Structures are given as structure tokens and as C-alpha cells.
Amino acid sequence: MTKVIAIANQKGGVGKTSTTVNLGAGLVRKGYDVLLIDLDSQANLTMALGYQNPDDMEFTISNVLHKAVQEEDIDPAEGILTTSEGIDLMPANVQLSGLEISLINEYGRENMLKQYIDEVRLNYDYILIDCAPSLSVLTVNALVAADSVLIPTQPHYFSMAGLQMFYDTICKIRKKMNPSLTIEGVLVTMMDNRPNFTKDLVAQLHETYGDVFNVFETEIPTSIRMSESSARGKSIFAFDKKGKVAAAYEKLTEEVIENGRQEQTVQRELRTVQTAR
């Protein structure tokens, strides 16, 4: 069963792209087929995977969405790049910003990405979508196409305060456009355990939301090695596989895989009950 996860938060600088890269790499290391989709015109994901000149690319996610708008056939293999680490990527570039403007007046604009994902999902075990730091029509497309959303957040007051607003948005998407959308979990990133206030904020996060949705046990520590790996176009596993950040992302990968196992168990039990009826 393919699982589509949107990595999203309306706030910038919380580690969405780093999480997409390293969760994707972690899943590949576990033997899964993984596609990463860059849905941000800044193309940070594309560059973080080693493609430093995205604006020179002839085919990106912009071309895919244009085909969906024009109701043209979509080749699920066209434009996909494969990195040296075995991660498949549908890249982005600045053209995405222009396409986003044109989508505003399109009928069914929230479903354009879903059309593409429906074409490619049978080729992968996991599809991860790196979203822009906004509640734009493209982010809505990601949430409509996804099975779940993973929300990175920093242990800072304003990041935590914005979490409720984003949760409200997810509830609206679930109510009006994608009733099966779930929250994969909230992931604390850039964690520094030295100040007491960060530990207090994380404890408050678990206390406030732990009964509402999943808060990952994994916390991604702050580290200059993360920035260095992105600059080199590598995952943290390829750049610093014995470091603390690699260990944290390996733990996160295991949590995500376990989430999937639990969901499959629940679905099997539901089918058994329905069959018995």
C-alpha cells in the first residue's frame, strides 16, 4: 500500500525540506521505493538533493501540473530524477510560482496534484511532498492528495502558537476536500536541550496535543552538520551517518514505518468486520 505524506507547516524555517530529504533517505535505506515531490518554487528540496541549477531544468512539477490543467495525459515516469542515494525526485523551479497564480482561476484547482499522484503511486511505497511555508493553493493541493501530513515545528513559542492555526486548516481540508486525511505526527526539529524553556515547550506540546494527534517521540537535534549536508546535496546519512542527527532521522523513519503497520492492521480488521456483516 502506497502512503502519501505531505511535509507541511505554514511557518518557514522549521525543517520541512531537511525532514523530507532525510525521511526519504531513511525509507530508501530500509528498502522502500520512495518519490520526493518538490512543491515549492524556491526549489530547496531540489537543490538539497544536489541539483544546483533547477531553473535550467526542462521538466519539473510545473509541467506536470500544467498537463493536469490542460487535461493532457501524464506519463508517470517523465521528468523523475534518481539521486546517487536511490531517491526519486520530481523537481521544482521558479516556474512553479507562475503556475500557482494561473491555478487560482481553474475549476477543480485543488485536485491537480492528486491527478499526478494517482498516476505514480503504484510505483512507490512512499511519496513525500515538500510544501512551501504558506497556505497557498499548492499546499492545499498537497493536503488534498496526501494520506497524512507530517508537521515539523521548532521548540519556539511562535512555532508552537502557529500549530493550532495549521491544525484548524487541516480540519477544514478534512471536512471539505479530503475526509481521509490524517496527521502523521508533529515532529520537533532543531531541538537544543540545554535551555530549560525548550524542554518546557516540548513538554507542553505533548500535554496539549498528545491526546489530539500523534507527537513523535523522536526529536531532531540542532546541528551544523545538517546545513552542511544540504549544501553538499546529500542526506545526513550519506554525509554524517554516525552523527546524532542521522540517528534521530533513523528513529523517525522507524516511527513512520510503524505508523503504517498499525494503519494496515486497523484496515484489515475493518475489512474483516465488514466481510462478516
pLDDT (tens digit, 9 = 90+) per residue, 167-197?
999 999 999 999 999 999 999 999 988 878 8
pLDDT, tens digit, 9 for 90 and up, residues 120-133: 999 999 999 999 99
The SS3 call for residue 263 is helix
* Whether 29 contacts 66, CB under 8 Å: no
Task: Catalogue all structural domains in the chain, each as residue range(s) with its CATH number.
Answer: 3-276 (3.40.50.300)
Model's pTM, two decimal places? Answer: 0.94
Residue 277 confidence class, pLDDT cut points 50, 70, 90 = low
* Strand partners for 144: none
Determine the pLDDT at residue 105. 83
User: What is the C-alpha R_g of the chain?
Assistant: 18
* Whether 25 contacts 162, CB under 8 Å: no
Residue 78 identity = E
| DSSP state at residue 258 | H
| Distance (Å, whole) CA 259 – CA 264 | 9
Determine the pLDDT at residue 143. 97
* Host H or E run for residue 35: strand 34-39
Segment 62-74 mean pLDDT? 93
* Whether 117 contacts 67, CB under 8 Å: no
With 0-12 / 13-18 / 19 or more C-beta atoms within 10 angstroms meaning exposed / middle / buried, residue 262 is exposed
Backbone CA torsion sign across 10, 15, 20, 26: negative
Q: Calculate the CA 103 to chain-centre distance.
A: 21
* Whether 4 contacts 117, CB under 8 Å: yes
